[in-house]
């Protein structure tokens, strides 16, 4: 059984919280829907179609919208939706007009590329951490925050917060090797492709909420922290072999009408939890983020309205569905796993 990394007598320097889920919650569905188009091109029907469906029957418990430009210079519009069970998500997918629109044959021949990455994850295989009691993501499904947790602010705390690493003999080693699929444009565009993931890919969504920051704190964040965050995410995106990061997207959150929400997050998929831990603990690009944040804390004398949070998922093959429709070959997991 893996041993906890919690130091003896550890008391963290600042409080942090994680969500707690009752035994009745068997799994939570994390659903990412995206549409891509060359930067400056006119958007298609994706946003209007999905917006209409997520407000209908069997709607998700929580929805976030975001946008980013990928390394191929395609603008991506993204919706992240959470359902409290696989049955609830499947009921929505069976009955929604969006499902019928998505599945239509002519989606492969239109201007937009479409992608969906759907993960059904048991609570024992993910963890959350928040710098304040302001829920978002899976924490917004109505499950309460408990008391502040001790398992944070030391290397290894992330693994300690995942129940299966301490309750079962599971170190979450990758179940298979990944190699670059090197799809051509002809092989990925005008195609509908599903990719099978191996077990134990590690997905992290790490968020920054500066909507409550005053002008001075916001300026400090933009000048001191954000450049290092952007550089770190670019390193992960552009150096997958060195980092073990298969996909990295730095997104700006927008409201459902597309207006900037003063929030951002990085969404990165690593070959394993160990790859994420190694980058976080020792790589200069992450240490620069870490150090710039504490420099900001010193400059602000510890008084921050910036809210930080993350959720880390350990995926299993049976609970993952990744589909790419008319997408460029560097989208998501397309470049790593043959369909």
The set of catalytic residues is 310
Tokens of 164: 């299966």
> In the numeric block, which tokens belong to residue 10?
């550890």
Question: 272 is written with which tokens?
Answer: 């394993």
> 106 exposed, middle or buried (CB, 10 Å; 0-12, 13-18, 19+)?
exposed
Q: Are 195 and 115 in contact (CB under 8 A)?
A: no
295 backbone dihedrals φ, ψ, rounded to 5°: -65, -40
Query: Which is it for strands 28-38 and 113-121: parallel, antiparallel or unpaired?
Result: antiparallel
CB 85 within 8 A of CB 29: yes
Would you state the structure tokens that stand for residue 98, as one six-digit string? Answer: 């969006």
CA dihedral 155, 161, 167, 171 (to 10 degrees): -50
- Number of Cβ within a 10 Å radius of residue 242: 11
User: Among 86, 105, 34, 77, which residue's Cα sits nearest to residue 94?
Assistant: 86
Q: Round to whole Å and give the CA distance between 203 and 322.
A: 13
Cα dihedral sign for 119, 124, 127, 133? positive
Residue with tokens 């696989």: 86
| Closest to 268 measured CA to CA, from 289, 254, 298, 292 | 289
């Amino acid at each position: 059984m893996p041993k906890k990394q919690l130091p003896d007598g550890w008391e963290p320097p600042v409080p942090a919280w994680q969500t707690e889920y009752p035994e009745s919650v068997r799994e939570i569905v994390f659903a990412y829907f995206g549409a891509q188009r060359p930067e400056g091109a006119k958007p298609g029907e994706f946003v209007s179609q999905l917006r209409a469906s997520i407000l209908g029957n069997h709607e998700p418990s929580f929805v976030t919208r975001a946008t980013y430009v990928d390394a191929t210079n395609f603008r991506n519009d993204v919706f992240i939706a959470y359902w409290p069970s696989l049955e609830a998500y499947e009921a929505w997918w069976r009955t929604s007009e969006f499902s019928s629109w998505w599945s239509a044959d002519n989606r492969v021949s239109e201007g937009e590329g479409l992608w969906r990455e759907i993960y059904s994850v048991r609570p024992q295989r993910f963890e959350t951490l928040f710098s304040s009691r302001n829920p978002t993501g899976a924490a917004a499904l109505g499950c309460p925050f408990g008391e502040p947790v001790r398992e944070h602010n030391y290397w290894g705390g992330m693994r300690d917060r995942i129940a299966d690493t301490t309750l079962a003999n599971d170190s979450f080693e990758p179940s298979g090797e990944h190699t670059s699929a090197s799809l051509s444009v002809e092989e990925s565009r005008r195609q509908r492709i599903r990719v099978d993931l191996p077990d134990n890919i590690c997905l992290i969504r790490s968020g920054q909420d500066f909507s409550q920051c005053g002008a001075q704190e916001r300026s400090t964040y933009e000048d001191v922290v954000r450049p290092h965050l952007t550089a770190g995410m670019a390193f992960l995106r552009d150096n997958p072999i060195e980092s073990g990061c298969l996909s990295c997207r730095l997104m700006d959150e927008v409201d459902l009408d597309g207006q900037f929400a003063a929030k951002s997050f990085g969404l990165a998929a690593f070959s394993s939890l160990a790859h994420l831990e190694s980058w976080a603990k020792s790589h200069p690009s992450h240490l620069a983020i870490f150090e710039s944040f504490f420099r900001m804390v010193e400059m602000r004398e510890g008084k921050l309205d910036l809210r930080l949070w993350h959720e880390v998922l350990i995926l299993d093959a049976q609970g993952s569905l990744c589909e790419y429709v008319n997408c460029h070959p560097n989208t998501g997991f397309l470049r790593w796993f043959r369909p």
